[in-house]
Structure 1
Amino acid sequence: MKLDEFLTEGLISSVNNGLIQPELATVYAGNYLVKSLIAQAQVTQVSDAITAYKVAQASADKTAADQAQRQEVNRTSAPEDTLK
């Protein structure tokens, strides 16, 4: 594995595993680009992966919020249903 591949894959997996914040990965990618350790295409690859991560996180957050809301509705309506 080449250094540029290692750095790119490392940034992407670190974001996906929650080891570093997406914003910090962007900074690292920019620094690697300036130092010619990775190419612009790899910065784009990191950026695309970060976008996908954020979309997945937003979806997971919405799903969790929807589930919590359903549980709250079920919890508050349960006593009334059991009395019937």
Structure 2
Amino acid sequence: MAAALPAAGEDLGRPGQHTWMHALVRWLFITVSLAFLAAVLLAPLATVFAMALAKGLAPYLGSFTDPDTLAALRLPLT
């Protein structure tokens, strides 16, 4: 029973502080959260560009010559 007790000057630290599983779980959570963030941000963005460019690049770029579009682009700059 006495052999199971720590010595008087021994530093125990936190339990599980230096395990490889702790680092693995941390990196797993970081990877999953970044993948979720990328999916949430990039999927709608890809859909917007796919719909905008559905008829080709010429109609998309031609929409910037519309007076209403130019007025909407100037609005936040004033």
- TM-score surpassing 0.5? no
TM-score (norm 1): 0.39
Structure number with higher relative contact order (C-alpha < 8 Å, ≥ 6 residues apart): 1
Larger Cα-atom Rg = 2
More helix by share: 1
TM-score (norm 2): 0.41
